[in-house]
Amino acid sequence: MSLGFRLAASDGAARRGTLATAHGAVETPAFMPVGTAATVKAMRPEEVARAGFAMILANTYHLMLRPGAERVAALGGLHKFMNWPGPILTDSGGFQVMSLAKLRKISEEGVAFQSHLDGKAHLLTPERAIEIQHLLDADITMAFDECTPFPATETEARESMERSMRWAARSKAAFRAREGYGLFGINQGGIHPDLRRASAKALIEIGFDGYAVGGLAVGEGQDAMFAVLDAVVPALPEDRPRYLMGVGKPDDILGAVRRGVDLFDCVLPTRSGRTAQAFTPYGTVNLRNARHLDDPRPLDESCDCPACTQYSRAYLHHLWRGGEILGSMLLTGHNLRYYARLMEELRAAVTAKRLAALSDTLTRGWARGDIPAR
């Protein structure tokens, strides 16, 4: 196995472990901030690390289009290029090809598409997706897959899943194994448990360093997502990391950790930080709301981030009313710190076998909501 993964504790299905990579260790369960185009928006790399994150995610599709994988490789690889010394996971580009690219055409060979940036024609195959991620020097490379759209008929989901499994085998054949580097397969099959289990079986037969669950958080709803996890996670190897792609909201993460998931990524904390939405123990807070105009309180008294320790709600509201860039920077930093603290709490609770109690505390807090100043 190219990556090291050691489980240290469990609480029910939930796990705590350590993922060892060429660029450092990651304590799991862990959340990865999204640095799509070699940057976590509104944050410097050292700020992301200080917020409490060991690993970030970057994207094959975006980086192949701009500035180009070969250029990044010539400049020393993605870690040096973006000044991030820690581990990096790169999405294979399959989701972005389906969601962003123009005039895409799927065949057994791969996906032919036109760039959403300039209309230039490209062909992304499993072999090219793996090559790009190798050039980027990703610690964790993702197999190329087709993200099954939602809704899809069972027949459509089956055809898509089976194609992804054939692409997974080609991805494995193209991957260059190195110590500290690994390749993850991606489970597909829509919301159909039998297809998800068949996908898990196919991936295990191919053999990967980790297993991701893809094709969720695309409109199916939380209950359907959890039903898929209930079906597929027990079918995945216990001694390999499990990654739920593109998820998510704090309560999604909590539910997935309780089902045995180890890794997460999502644009939500950074995107929300750029739209005045802040995550707190009492749910989300919209800093655009006029009720914050004269509020001297910190955004979250329990938080140790700069937004909460150095500024008032009134000032944060002022920044948004004035369209100041600092507002996005402070709230993005706060949201990332909130997610890091959430993962710290989850890891500690699994170790102490107190995850059920923490779940109750978190759920009650989110349900209570933010209380306006008197």
Dihedral over alpha carbons 86, 91, 92, 93 (to 10 degrees): -130
CA 97, CA 110: separation in Å to the nearest integer? 11
Residue 22 has a pLDDT of 98
What's the 3-state SS for the chain?
CCCEEEEEEEECCEEEEEEEECCEEEEECEEEEECCCCCCCCCCHHHHHHHCCCCEEEEHHHHHHCCCHHHHHHCCCHHHHHCCCCCEEEECCHHHHHHCCEEEEECCCCEEEECCCCCCEEEECHHHHHHHHHHHCCCEEECCCCCCCCCCCHHHHHHHHHHHHHHHHHHHHHCCCCCCCEEEEEECCCCCHHHHHHHHHHHHHHCCCEEEECCCCCCCCHHHHHHHHHHHHHHCCCCCCEEECCCCCHHHHHHHHHCCCCEEEECHHHHHHCCCEEEECCEEEECCCHHHCCCCCCCCCCCCCHHHHHCCHHHHHHHHHCCCHHHHHHHHHHHHHHHHHHHHHHHHHHHHCCHHHHHHHHHHHHHHCCCCCC
- Cβ–Cβ under 8 Å, residues 264 and 26: no
User: Residue 55: what pLDDT?
Assistant: 98
Q: Are the beta carbons of 135 and 70 closer than 8 angstroms?
A: yes
Q: Tens digit of pLDDT per residue, the chain (374 long)?
A: 489 999 999 999 999 999 999 999 999 999 999 999 999 999 999 999 999 999 999 999 999 999 999 999 999 999 999 999 999 999 998 888 878 877 789 999 999 999 989 999 999 999 999 999 999 999 999 999 999 889 999 999 999 999 999 999 999 999 999 999 999 999 999 999 999 999 999 999 999 999 999 999 999 999 999 999 999 999 999 999 999 999 989 999 999 999 999 999 999 999 999 999 999 999 999 999 999 999 999 999 999 999 999 999 999 999 999 999 999 999 999 999 999 999 999 999 999 999 999 999 999 999 999 998 87
Predicted pLDDT of residue 288: 97
Say what the pLDDT of residue 319 is: 98
- Provide the residue type at 279 as one letter: F
Structure confidence at residue 335 (pLDDT): 98
> What is the set of domains in the chain, with CATH numbers?
4-266 (3.20.20.105), 273-368 (no CATH)
Active site residues: 91, 265
| Per-residue confidence (pLDDT) for residue 2, from 0 to 100 | 81
Please report the pLDDT score of residue 374 as a whole number.
78
What is the pLDDT, as a whole number, of residue 95? 86
Phi/psi of residue 358, nearest 5 degrees: -65, -40
67: preceding bond cis by omega (within 30 degrees):
yes
Pairing between β-strand 102-106 and β-strand 111-114 as defined by DSSP bridges: antiparallel
pTM over 0.85: yes
**pLDDT on residue 220:** 96
